[in-house]
Structure 1
Amino acid sequence: MIFIYLLSGLFLGFGQGANALSNIFGTAVETRMITFRKAALIASIFIVLGAVIEGSGPSGTLGRLGSIDALGGAFTVSLAAAAAIFVNVRMGIPVSSSQTIVGAIIGWNVFSGRLTDLHSIAIIGGSWVGSFLLAAGIAALLFYAFQYWINHSKMHLLVQDLVVRYAIVIVGAFGAYSLGANNIANVVGVFVHVSPFKDLNLFGIFQFDGVQQLYILGSLSIVAGIYTYSRRVIRTVGKDLFELSPVTALVAILAEAIMLFLFSSQALHRFFLKAGIPPIPLVPVSSANGIIGAIMGIALAKGGKNIRFNVLGRISLAWITAPLMAFLFSFVALFIVQNVFEQTVRQPVIYTFNRITVEEIKEQGFDTAALATVNGRSFDSEQSLYKELKAQNLYDRQQLMDIIAITQEYPMQVNTGGLRLKGLHKGFTPQQWKALQQLDEHTFTHKWQLKQTLAEDESWSTIAKPSTELEKSYNSKIESTLELLYKSFYYTPKQNK
């Protein structure tokens, strides 16, 4: 059944691929600096490499935006996001899976009665605007640098043309690698904790764990989209918005590649943290935003003339409507899948105020006297509980979210064998893995119970009051790892433990 559910993720990857080539090589193909076939081949190879080698970095923020807890829900959300991309591709408009997957996840939140993390929306939305402006700024600076080089270079025109062609190949490969690393989480990230693949050893040389095989499959679906459906969008990006020369096409590709690298490189993220510099968040960003931003940066650097504002307006409108379209598709599709096809799209969740949870709320420093109206009661909707507590005007939003998280019943049973079977054990330190093994077969009712039990081991404990970016990043990494455990160990009450 998991392979059927995976089809929606692969369809999303197909839609992503239909946009990918235009966002990486669209300007170069339209200026005839590289053929479509060569561009498709280079993009395909390096998207796969980027996904497999460095594809896990940006997935955490989407997980915090909405924690989809049923395979049927993940299937429907991916399908809705893919459908929104497909509609825009048919119109020749470049949109990204980063845009549509967010709208689809919010649709699941509303349908399931869950709250949406506004902080994550702010980070993701800010990254969309930031990626556009960053790519535009980088492109403008590169344009002036290349213009100076051309004006002062004594290089023959034929040699210059050859240099630009080779540079486009190298920079395009770099951009494709960064795109694969940054966007693969959108395609199959929701299926990581249920990956059906076991570790694979090829000739004793190459070894791929289950997650890497999942990323390979997702990236191959992107490749399929590149080869079959990307020509229509290439023209919009490479020619319709603003006429580019071969050199400015190179500048646009390089600016986009740098932008994608900044938002996806785990090594650069760690370097910034160690240097005490606030890092750029590892967030899936829109490559479409990047390439359009780069083209606009070049156009403005050249005086802003000849920009086709009707095309720009059509693209900008699509960037607003695409997430909304995905939201509507998701909400309607979830209703149909649940009620017509009788598939589970969300797990029933209970929020209980009993002696155990109220004591934990008090332990966390909250005034429990204000909980008198809900003590001893259970709620089946996060939103209804939030509204009842909010009406008392005694807690702010973050405090309400913390209280709700404590009361959530989330039955889990520790199963390290399952983690090893999926290849997920490689993501833990030896000390963390040892602590996990000691809890094998133990059951927990609440997430915080598992977290506190693991925190008794130093390798799982977070820093109480992080003061530096490095300490905050350490805590964030622990929390992301715990989220993987929660999803992997979860069982429904009807299941046998």
Structure 2
Amino acid sequence: MLIVLTVLLALYISWSIGSNDETMGTLAGCGYISIGRAVLIGAIADALGAILLGYRVEETIGRGLISVDLTYYDIFVIMVSMATWLIISSAMGIPISTTHSIVGAVTGLGAYKYGLQSLNLKSLVRIAAGWILSPLIGVIMAYFMEKFVSMYLKRRVRGLIDRLKVGRFSGLMLLVWTTYTSFFRGANDIANATSFISLMFDPILARTICGIGMAVGVLTLGRRVVRTVGEELVELDPVSALAVQISVASTLSIGTMLGLPLSGSQILVAAIIGIGL
């Protein structure tokens, strides 16, 4: 029964992650494709990333944070803590990072039940460094990317026809890079739901189930988030949006391959700030 409840909690967490995924917002906001198509592409990319590469961050959270073997009860407590905090924050309208939440829950349980000596300080320092550096990298990359592209266009683009060609090409590249970002967003975020239930049964099955849960979240409430980000909060032309997505995708993919749990939302916001500097 405990295992069933834990899996249900993991499904809720994965659904919540998907329902708050704003990755496709810049693509939809540029008007290159409709919100419905953007959400569908994002859902598929999220699920594939979760299933195929989710294990990279799973190993860090599930086995790298504390040195003791967690019991099923410990895992259940962690998932309850995560789910409860998600419900409270959603009810209050407070945006939170599930990445920060899962690391905090594991660290808190480990320190309380098994003592500070059970914590892997090296892993915690690596994760903290990733949280600090990833937004900075996003800002810097987006800033220089946008400046470089703007300078190039000023020198090469002449007349309306050239601008239309650049707009179409930028839109196509934006579709490619945003899909790439969603893939690695799924690969990085799914560990917040599966790192510990993958210790209970087959990890691939766990990632598949929760990857589908994440996709359902994107297809349901995620549509609202994408519309809000794309039409109300962020107004970017295709070139600026492309600079944002390249910086986010690059930062997130490198972090994922290094096994670092990162906040895609923080990197995205940082990149948007970068092009505005």
Interval of TM-score (by shorter of Structure 1 and Structure 2)? 0.7 to 0.9
Alignment of 1:14-163 (within 5 A): 14-20=15-21, 22=22, 24-62=23-61, 63-66=63-66, 67=68, 69-89=70-90, 94-115=95-116, 116-151=119-154, 152-154=156-158, 156-163=162-169
How far, CA to CA, are the matches of 2:84 and 2:153 in structure 1? Answer: 44
CA distance in 1, matches of 2:92, 2:163: 38
Q: Secondary structure at the match of 2:55?
A: coil
For 1:45 and 1:251, locate their aligned partners in 2 and report how far apart those are by CA, in whole Å. Answer: 23
Aligned to 1:260: 252
Contact 1:52 1:216 in 2 (8 A): yes
Among candidates 168, 185, 196, match of residue 179 of structure 1: 185
Which of 162, 168, 176 lines up with 2:174 in the alignment? 168
Return the offset for 1:39.
Answer: 1.4
SS at match of 2:196: helix
Counterparts of residues 380-391 of structure 1 (less than 5 Å): none
Check 1:29–1:68 CA distance in 2 against 1; reply closer, same or farther (3 A cut).
Answer: farther
Contact 1:58/1:283 (8 A) holds in 2: yes
User: 1:19 touches 1:89 (CA, 8 Å); kept in 2?
Assistant: no
Structure 2 letter corresponding to 1:32: G
1:123-163, CA deviations, whole angstroms, 9 ceiling, x for partnerless residues?
21111111101111111121112212332234533333322
Question: Displacement of 1:245 after TM fit?
Answer: 2.6
- 1:34-433 pair list within 5 angstroms: 34-62=33-61, 63-66=63-66, 67=68, 69-89=70-90, 94-115=95-116, 116-151=119-154, 152-154=156-158, 156-195=162-201, 210-234=202-226, 237-238=229-230, 243-265=235-257, 281-300=258-277
Determine which structure has greater relative contact order: mean sequence separation of CA pairs < 8 Å that are 6+ residues apart, divided by chain length. Answer: 2
Report deviation, 1:236.
Answer: 6.2
Q: 1:135 to 1:92 in 2, by over 3 A?
A: farther
Q: Are the counterparts in 2 of residues 31 and 245 from structure 1 also a CA contact under 8 Å?
A: yes
CA distance in 2, matches of 1:129, 1:55: 22
Alignment deviations for residues 238-285 of structure 1 (CA, whole Å, 9 cap, x no partner): 4666543332122212211111111123xxxxxxxxxxxxxxx42111
Q: Secondary structure at the match of 2:24?
A: helix
The letter for the 2-side match of 1:53 is L
For residues 89 and 157 of structure 1, what CA distance do their matches in structure 2 show?
42
- Residues 94 and 288 of structure 1 are in contact (CA less than 8 Å); yes or no, is this contact kept in structure 2? no
Aligned pairs, number? 269
* Partner SS state of residue 95, structure 1: coil
For residues 88 and 29 of structure 2, the distance between their equivalents in structure 1, rounded to whole angstroms, comes to 23
Separation of aligned partners in 2, 1:68 and 1:27? 42
Unaligned runs of 5+ in 2: none
Write the deviation string for residues 286-324 of structure 1: whole angstroms up to 9, x where unpaired: 111110111111111xxxxxxxxxxxxxxxxxxxxxxxx
Contact 1:95 1:288 survives alignment (8 Å): no
Q: Residues 83 and 264 of structure 1: is their aligned pair in 2 closer, same or farther, counting only changes over 3 Å?
A: same
Alignment check: 8 A CA contact 1:77 1:108 kept: yes
Could you state the TM-score of these two structures normalised by the residue count of structure 2?
A: 0.86
**8 Å Cα contact 1:59-1:283 kept in structure 2:** no
Secondary structure of the structure 2 residue equivalent to 1:33: coil
Q: In the alignment, is the contact (CA less than 8 A) between 2:135 and 2:270 conserved in 1?
A: yes
- Per-residue CA deviation, residues 321-367 of structure 1 (Å, 9 max, x unaligned), is xxxxxxxxxxxxxxxxxxxxxxxxxxxxxxxxxxxxxxxxxxxxxxx
1:128–1:285 CA contact under 8 A, matched in 2: yes
Could you tell me how far 1:93 is from its partner in structure 2? 5.2
**Cα shift readout 1:189-230 (whole Å, capped 9, x = no counterpart):** 1112221xxxxxxxxxxxxxx322211111111112112222
Q: Is the 8 A contact 2:50 2:208 kept in 1?
A: yes
State which structure, 1 or 2, has the greater radius of gyration over its C-alpha atoms. 1
Runs ≥4 residues deviating over 6 A: none
CA distance in 1, matches of 2:74, 2:197: 11
Structure 1 residue 44: deviation in Å? 1.4
Change (3 A) 1:99 1:147: same
Do 1:252 and 1:298's aligned partners in 2 also have CA atoms closer than 8 Å?
Answer: yes
Distance 1:247 1:39, change over 3 A: same
Q: Which residue of 2 aligns with 1:371?
A: none
The answer for the alignment partner of 1:10 in structure 2 is 11
Shift in Å, 1:110: 3.9
| Cα distance, 1:30 vs structure 2 | 3.0
CA RMSD of aligned residues (A): 2.4
Residues 12 and 79 in structure 1, CA contact (< 8 A), matched pair in contact too: no
